[in-house]
Structure 1
Amino acid sequence: MATTTPNGVRGGHAKHGGGSAFDGGAPMTHRQIMEALSGLLLGMFVAILSSTIVSNALPEIITDLGGGQSAYTWVVTASLLAMTATTPLWGKLSDLFSKKLLVQISLLIYVLGSVVAGLSQNSGMLIACRVIQGIGVGGLSALAQIVMAAMIAPRERGRYSGYIGAVFAVATVGGPLLGGVITDTDWLGWRWCFYVGVPFALIALFVLQKTLKLPVVKRQVKVDWSGAFFISAAVSLLLVWVTFAGDKYDWISWQSGAMVGGSVLLGALFLLVESKASEPIIPLRLFRNRTITLASLASLFVGVAMFAGTVFFSQYFQLARDESPTMSGVLTIPMIGGLFVSSTVSGQIITKTGRWKAWLVAGGALVTAGLGLLGTIRYDTEYWHIAVFMVLMGLGLGMMMQNLVLCTQNQVDPSDLGAASSVVTFFRSLGGAIGVSALGAIMANRVTHYVKDGLAELGPQGEALGHGGTGGGGIPDLDKLPVPIRTVMETAYGHGVADIFLYSAPFALVAFLVTLFIKEVALKSSSSDAEAKTKEAVAASEAPEALAAATAPAPAQAVASEPVTSVASGVAVRGVVRGSEGAAVPRAAVTLISPAGRQLGRSVAQGDGSYTLDAPGAGSYVLIASADGFQPQACTVNVTDEPLVYDILLAGTSGLGGVVRAADGGGPVEGAMVVVTDVRGDVLATGTSTEQGEFAFAELVPGAVTVAVNAPGYRPIALPVEIGGQGVTRVEAELLSGAVVRGVVRGAAGLPLTDARVILVDAAGNVVATATTGDDGAYAFADLDAGEYSVIATGYPPVAGQLTVTGRGVDGHDIELAHPGE
């Protein structure tokens, strides 16, 4: 008889150890899956890269195209808004048309938008192209997961999902830095930020055409075109009003009234359409759940804070501190580091305790504090102050972003899991789009105000310059300005960006207050639909002790006994309980319960893993299996008048161990921090290496994980590891030393010099790093490769010197600066 294979269970007619199956198709081999997955991974890499690569290149792009602050923010907002509005639509279309065709169409849309964006002659053309890019990226983001679900059976999907996590990490971290490097490279230029993803997209098209063969499985759905149009139109009109209010027209004017009124009307029409739509883009019934309502509201305000950091930091470092696009990406690492630390620590503790609200509340407080402190920075604020403030903000964002989705998923019915998660994500993206546009408009006004005040202080000549070209949100080219005016501009941008952070702090405060009212419910111990249904059924059971009997491991003496059942006759349900490697699992407890939670049958697997029990008759039942050293599994089985054969696969718990060594032939590294995360980024285990450099973790679920290792004086690394189904998987981590160059800048009298600028240049002539000395005259550069470098010191007539960096570096490279004749 034909059945639907639930998570963790495969019917007796399927081959064990075989590949995954398409919907209704034959099983795929591992090679076929990897070939098709390579095209999907390239597509996802393109989607994520396009969203992050322009962040540090934007100041130069907008300056080159003659755009202003409103254009700057709309380049980000347009893509974000298009992606937000179209992502659910692509999901609906995948139920009507070929998923493979839709992936290829979204790739072609992305390629078209990217090529034309690279040819943009003005900011308006670039914004239009970013909308096209956003539509394509929305399709790639949605369809990649949908195609994987259609291509790989649920119980085997975790085996391959680690690759997507790795691609996501590489594109997210590498995108801004790659964009900065491309912009700083004279023979490339910023236009290649848009071209660089095109070859990957074309290769992905070719690979998908050759390797991906999906059947077209249609179901009756109705795409909510009207809902998507009205929500996009309402938000867009509101963003246009915020962008131009106070510049093109007054805040209180007939234009403002028309736009705000039109946005409210479009929003009301959206609510009306959604209330009547059979399959709405945002199911309004979900908001009857208090947690979803509050989490969505908090996500809306968190989105403002999150995108404020990623978008406006690049302007601060490039326009207020005269850093290159590449260095502006490097200087934001403290925020990324704070986010990483908070995600790992909070994830580890939440996993152990099941409690999450304290982290959510603490995250709101930290984001509010971080933004408030960032509101005090100026163009000449010491960088370590800014770094501390960024760390606070990153810590808070790391605690809030994932846990807002987590608390939502934990309190909804399994059938609403996808819809509820997408609603929270939708509001976060919506908050980001609104925040970037509104804050960008405010920043344009504040910068113009500060420039006017600064130029007026320079005297009549400065006052005659008015707003210095910043009126209407214009962005000046600082390299072409004389020093006094340039200082005014840097001061204005430093103060203007600080105001943006200060205005963002109340939004974070609202998110913090909202989280206080979210009711904490301890996390469920299972995530699959079948397991969730089982828990609900048992909760409603007339015999609550049924669950204890169902999940309790069988006693050792029962191994040799015949299967025990509580139903004397009926339809036989039998099969074999196996581990992830295909080996039989003896002594596994297998229990059959009714939808109401009543125990109908219980069996203990024999030495060969076989079990047998009887169902009272045709119907739908829940089958539960558990054993020592394995994760319990639950599934829904549909029994007819014929005997049913179901083999059950249990995922075992395994160990992970290894050693951390120095890559340059040194011995073991003691005290290295080792962090193990799953494909979603959740922390599974942490620890430090011993004196022999060894580390070990027990009780880990088999599958793909990432092992991150870092230690003082070494460069951190991340290794993809596949944990086997049995035994201990061994890992060897080799850490590269990060060389250090340090010294003291002194004057002619031998006294340390303050505020001397020291520049480190590599053998190719590239600026590697810069530093400014403090009161002690000291400078330092860390995390350097071995090789030849030049050290240039300025502040007096510049002094340059050569040095060779090997091993741990050079300590004591002192520099003497003096005026001629001293």
Structure 2
Amino acid sequence: MTHKQRIEALVGLLLGMFVAFLSSTIVSNALPTIITELHGTQDQYTWVVTATLLASTATTPIWGKFADLVSKKLLIQLSLLLFTLGSVLAGLSTSVPMLIGFRAVQGLGLGGLQALGIIIIAAMFSPRERGRYQGPMAAVMSVATVAGPLLGGLIVDTSWLGWRWCFFVGAPLAVIALVVIGRTLNLPVVKRDVKIDYAGATLIAAGVSVLLIWVTLAGKNFEWASATSYELVAVGVVLLGLAIFAETKAADPVVPLRLFRDRTMTLATLASIAVGVAMFGGAVFLGQYFQIARGYSPTAAGLLTLPMVLGSMISATLSGALITKYGKWKKFLVVGAVGMAAGFLLLATTDHATSMVLIGVYLFVLGAGMGMTMQNLVLPVQNNVAPSDLGSASATVAFFRSLGGAAGVSVLGAVLSSHVTELTTEGLANAGVDMSKAGGSGAGLSNLKELPEQIGTIVRASYGDATGRVFLISGIIAALSLVAILFIREVALKDKSAMQQLDAERAARGAAEVAAVSGAVIDSEMIAEVDEIEDRVEASAPSGRHAAPTGRHAAPDLD
């Protein structure tokens, strides 16, 4: 592929990634309206989001493994088709269970888009050259993640559109990305003998799904310390244990466990979990804070997150350009992790009355940290692994980032819900209000306007004060990410793309095979010549009692 072709293909890939991340957050501000119109319950409210996260997280490593075995172009086209189909069907849903099912289909395509986007970019560009494009990649991810709630709010607030367009809006963009990729992406397909690890793929998906179901429902449908909770954890751990066993026996495992012998791979995986919490948890709970605690509309809530978007875009672009220029990446990851931890810890000091200017500054710091960390974190992994393992390694990092997001949203949501209940009960008691008039613990966006003014004010203040604890936990997790990054050994970035490395490896193997064959021919010719000389000597040498000639008539010394 020429440079122009690679840039054109990159545009299509970025458009696909934009659609993927946009779909993850676009429903967050629209869900109260959706659940009300489709007559859903509070449990179904959670599952509309969880179904997509479950499907995408569980299938991410599987898409990555297939990328090492078959055509990457075919796989990303299939991902886009699945995503588009799921989006259109979700928009046509007439009940919440139907919507949840189609959101799962959407999630299958989303998992492929998340994993294959970074894999294909790594195949086209060298690790060092890739830094130049990390800015646009991180900008796309940041804008899509934060713009989702903004766009969702605008759609819901626009009477002639309606909530169904939250799902329809992504379909045309996905189709455009499909056409662009079909015309521009021309990566060679490496033919290999493939043995699909169906057992490992099934067990990984099942184990991850069970654990995500546990963290999603615990604290809501059953207590964290309950028989149901213990049973789900036990089933999830057993399934993942069987998956690990299956991977050790598989000829071609979905997640090659040998990758984790590399310290860089293991530490980057741990750090990626915190990035997942930052990306997904930050966007979800910021939207709730602005709408519930501060009383802003869905559209305004989206606009108030713009400082985080700007911080991410600026830092990602600058750090990417500097990484390409100098070939060094670690200091940018360290600074990014420090910024992410600092941003969360600053937000942890906020309550329902904090100055919006201060919150904007804190969000800018958080966004700057995220921009330096999000995409740059996969660079050392892609730089370290063999080209043949590029898909599996990249998808594993993306998988744990997505897993961190899914688990983080669920766990942090449970923490928020519990703390809101405590603060609301305390506030109502101090105000001398009967708790039964507060509409129960489910008071929130969906029924906040129905509450009496005094109770509504107390609930809003409780949400605002409780959100700080969520950001405090996120800050601690981000600090753990910083520790992991500090222990990653810096290796200079390579100047060859994955496809160029594969070409070089194949050329080297071909040269070695030619040399081996040439050596074998030479050896066989020499052996034949020696045998011929020996035959001549034996035929001319005297036998029996006659002595062998000496002097110049002696037989040649074959030694």
Asked if residue 370 in structure 1 is aligned to residue 340 in structure 2, the reply is no
Q: What's the CA shift for 1:468?
A: 2.2
Task: Find the partner of 1:306 among 263, 276, 279.
Answer: 279
Distance 1:292 1:450, change over 3 A: same
Residue number in structure 2 paired with 1:50: 23
Residue number in structure 2 paired with 1:509: 479
Residue number in structure 2 paired with 1:297: 270
Output the amino acid matched with 2:455.
Answer: I
Distance 1:239 1:530, change over 3 A: closer
Tell me, in whole angstroms, the C-alpha distance in 2 between the residues paired with 1:380 and 1:63: 30
Q: What's the CA shift for 1:367?
A: 2.1
Residue number in structure 1 paired with 2:293: 320
Task: Find the partner of 2:219 among 246, 259, 279.
Answer: 246
Q: What's the CA shift for 1:293?
A: 0.8
Counterpart contact for 2:294–2:352, Cα < 8 Å: yes
**What does 1:569-718 align with in structure 2 at a 5 Å threshold?**
619-620=511-512
Counterpart contact for 1:335–1:394, Cα < 8 Å: yes
Higher mean displacement: 140-149 or 299-308: 140-149
Tell me, in whole angstroms, the C-alpha distance in 2 between the residues paired with 1:44 and 1:94: 16
Task: Find the partner of 1:463 among 410, 428, 435.
Answer: 435
Distance 1:101 1:419, change over 3 A: closer
Distance 1:59 1:620, change over 3 A: farther
Asked if residue 284 in structure 1 is aligned to residue 254 in structure 2, the reply is no
Counterpart contact for 2:61–2:255, Cα < 8 Å: no
Output the amino acid matched with 1:470.
Answer: S
Residue number in structure 1 paired with 2:109: 136
Asked if residue 527 in structure 1 is aligned to residue 500 in structure 2, the reply is no
**Deviation sequence 1:517-569 (CA, Å, 0-9, x none):** 222x2423513358879999xxxxxxxxxxxxxxxxxxxxxxxxxxxxxxxxx
**Deviation sequence 1:331-379 (CA, Å, 0-9, x none):** 0111122222332343344445444333333333332222222122222
Asked if residue 484 in structure 1 is aligned to residue 376 in structure 2, the reply is no
Distance 1:207 1:421, change over 3 A: closer
**Deviation sequence 1:389-421 (CA, Å, 0-9, x none):** 212222222232233212223333444344333
Q: Give the secondary structure class of the aligned counterpart of 2:431.
A: coil
Bigger helix fraction: 2
Q: Give the secondary structure class of the aligned counterpart of 1:407.
A: helix
Residue number in structure 2 paired with 1:269: 242
**Deviation sequence 1:407-443 (CA, Å, 0-9, x none):** 2233334443443332222211111111111112222
Task: Find the partner of 1:356 among 326, 329, 335.
Answer: 329
Tell me, in whole angstroms, the C-alpha distance in 2 between the residues paired with 1:256 and 1:387: 39
**What does 1:158-557 align with in structure 2 at a 5 Å threshold?**
168=140, 175-201=148-174, 219-460=192-433, 462-465=434-437, 468-471=439-442, 475-519=445-489, 521-524=490-493, 526-528=495-497
Q: What's the CA shift for 1:91?
A: 5.3
Counterpart contact for 2:83–2:106, Cα < 8 Å: yes
Bigger strand fraction: 1
Output the amino acid matched with 2:441.
Answer: T
| TM-score, normalised with respect to structure 1 | 0.54
Q: What's the CA shift for 1:181?
A: 1.4
Distance 1:435 1:42, change over 3 A: closer
Tell me, in whole angstroms, the C-alpha distance in 2 between the residues paired with 1:64 and 1:507: 37
Q: Give the secondary structure class of the aligned counterpart of 1:457.
A: helix
Q: What's the CA shift for 1:133?
A: 0.4
Count residues with an aligned counterpart. Answer: 512
Output the amino acid matched with 1:312.
Answer: F
Tell me, in whole angstroms, the C-alpha distance in 2 between the residues paired with 1:357 and 1:94: 28
Distance 1:415 1:304, change over 3 A: same
Distance 1:258 1:535, change over 3 A: same
Tell me, in whole angstroms, the C-alpha distance in 2 between the residues paired with 1:495 and 1:224: 48
Residue number in structure 2 paired with 1:801: none
Counterpart contact for 1:305–1:507, Cα < 8 Å: no
Counterpart contact for 2:60–2:395, Cα < 8 Å: no
Q: Give the secondary structure class of the aligned counterpart of 1:255.
A: helix
Tell me, in whole angstroms, the C-alpha distance in 2 between the residues paired with 1:52 and 1:358: 31
Tell me, in whole angstroms, the C-alpha distance in 2 between the residues paired with 1:527 and 1:213: 18
Distance 1:357 1:95, change over 3 A: closer
Task: State the superposition RMSD in angstroms.
Answer: 4.4
Counterpart contact for 1:377–1:495, Cα < 8 Å: yes
Unaligned ranges ≥5, structure 1: 1-18, 21-29, 537-593, 597-617, 622-636, 642-822
Counterpart contact for 1:223–1:279, Cα < 8 Å: yes
**Deviation sequence 1:248-299 (CA, Å, 0-9, x none):** 3333222222111112111211111111222222211011111111111111
Distance 1:67 1:496, change over 3 A: farther
Output the amino acid matched with 1:180.
Answer: G
Tell me, in whole angstroms, the C-alpha distance in 2 between the residues paired with 1:238 and 1:292: 23
Higher mean displacement: 95-104 or 134-143: 95-104
Counterpart contact for 1:302–1:508, Cα < 8 Å: yes
Tell me, in whole angstroms, the C-alpha distance in 2 between the residues paired with 1:530 and 1:451: 58
Higher mean displacement: 38-47 or 428-437: 38-47
Tell me, in whole angstroms, the C-alpha distance in 1 between the residues paired with 2:77 and 2:333: 39
Tell me, in whole angstroms, the C-alpha distance in 1 between the residues paired with 2:334 and 2:293: 33
**What does 1:28-107 align with in structure 2 at a 5 Å threshold?**
46-62=19-35, 64-65=37-38, 71-90=44-63, 105-107=78-80
Distance 1:347 1:491, change over 3 A: same
